[in-house]
Structure formats: structure tokens, C-alpha cells
């Protein structure tokens, strides 16, 4: 976990742990992609098609098969890498930014909000929040079952009423303490 702190800036990086279904999906992506790429290469480069098609078409298909094989392997690696996620929390002068980093290549901003404008928050217990209506739910945490997860309900101009579930460490919690509204700060900080 990477962390940088100074008087008005705290940063935390959290790695997402894949669920068993996500791990199975990743394995199937790699296996299926390699299998299809090898099948295309085998059909294109073997002599099976020579008897079925004219020679010009066979040679053209062999050239295309090599490109399809290389493209298939590249696409498989890119799709499989999308299962590797990290979340970065950046607290700057009371404003919390939540970013998602996919495979250490692509970064996207999930949410930005003023912490003191949060409606409520606390330890994340899904059964307590299942009846509430949210316009968006953002799970920027290690896993949904992590007992250290916290939640905040915030208003966002683009997304509406948002439920944010995240896994702050002790340094991030102590930095958030200053900005949290008093009506739920005790519940949020209790561990």
C-alpha cells in the first residue's frame, strides 16, 4: 500500500482482490483467447484449406491468419489485464478524489466530493443500506466483504446521490476526521 502525507494532502492506494467468479472469468478469458487464436493460426497455416479453396484465397487467408493470431493474443492480454484493479484515494484540503487504475495503465476518476458535505457514513453493513435508494453505487474497496470497509453517502452533480464504499487505513481515517460532519463522525471512525 502506497501512502504519501503532508499537512493538507493524504494519498492511499488499495488493491482490489478479485472474487472467485472474477478469477474464473479471468482464467476463462485467457484460456478462451489463446485457444481461439491458436485455432485460427492452425486453420490458416495448415494444409486443410488447400483442398477446399483456390490457392490464391488460401495464401491470402494464411497471411490474414498470422495477423489474426497476433491480434488475438494481444487482445487476450488486454482483456485479461482489465481484471487487475487498484483504487487511489486522494484527500486534498477536504476534497476526496476516488480514482480507479486498471492494470497500472489506465486511470479514471470515479468520484470527487467535499467530505464535509456527506449526508451520512459509517462502517459498511450492506443489510442496513439495502432499502435505501441511490443513483449510483461505487465500490472502491479491497473486497465487498472486507470488515474494514466504510461508506459515505454524498451528492454529486453528475451522478446524483452516491453510495461510496471504500477501505481507508488509519492515516486516511485520521485525515478524514477533521472534515467529517459531526452527526456521524464517531460511527464512521469506530473500528
Can you tell me which residue has the cell 435505501?
132
Q: Could you say which DSSP state residue 53 is in?
A: S
What is the per-residue pLDDT for 5?
45
Q: 3-state DSSP call for residue 104?
A: coil
Closest CA to 140 of 180, 82, 99, 191: 99
Model pTM? 0.74
Which of 159, 166, 173, 157 is CA-nearest to residue 98? 166
What is the distance between the alpha carbons of residues 124 and 147, in angstroms, rounded to a whole number? 8
* Average pLDDT per 10 consecutive residues for the chain, totaling 191 residues: 58 85 87 88 73 75 84 88 89 92 88 90 88 91 88 90 92 88 79 59
- Which residues, listed in sequence order, are joined to residue 99 by a DSSP beta bridge? 88, 109
pLDDT of residue 134: 92
pLDDT of residue 4: 47
* Strands 150-156 and 136-140, bridge-based pairing: unpaired
CB of 134 closer than 8 Å to CB of 163? yes
What pLDDT, on the 0 to 100 scale, is given for residue 49? Answer: 64
81: CB partners within 8 A, 6+ apart: 102, 103, 105
Amino acid at each position: 500500500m502506497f501512502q504519501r502525507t503532508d499537512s493538507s494532502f493524504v494519498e492511499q492506494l488499495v488493491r482490489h482482490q478479485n472474487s472467485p467468479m472474477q478469477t474464473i472469468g479471468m482464467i476463462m478469458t485467457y484460456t478462451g483467447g489463446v485457444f481461439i487464436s491458436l485455432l485460427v493460426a492452425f486453420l490458416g497455416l495448415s494444409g486443410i484449406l488447400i483442398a477446399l479453396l483456390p490457392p490464391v484465397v488460401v495464401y491470402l487467408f494464411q497471411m490474414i491468419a498470422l495477423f489474426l493470431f497476433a491480434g488475438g493474443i494481444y487482445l487476450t492480454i488486454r482483456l485479461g489485464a482489465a481484471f487487475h484493479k487498484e483504487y487511489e484515494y486522494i484527500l486534498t484540503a477536504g476534497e476526496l478524489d476516488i480514482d480507479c487504475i486498471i492494470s497500472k495503465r489506465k486511470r479514471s476518476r470515479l468520484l470527487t466530493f467535499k467530505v464535509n458535505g456527506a449526508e451520512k457514513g459509517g462502517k459498511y453493513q450492506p443489510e442496513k443500506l439495502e432499502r435505501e435508494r441511490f443513483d449510483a453505487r461505487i465500490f472502491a474497496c479491497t473486497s465487498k466483504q472486507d470488515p474494514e470497509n466504510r461508506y459515505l453517502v454524498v451528492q454529486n452533480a453528475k451522478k446524483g446521490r452516491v453510495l461510496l464504499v471504500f477501505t481507508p487505513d488509519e492515516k486516511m481515517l485520521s485525515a478524514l476526521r477533521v472534515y467529517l460532519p459531526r452527526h456521524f463522525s464517531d460511527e464512521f471512525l469506530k473500528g
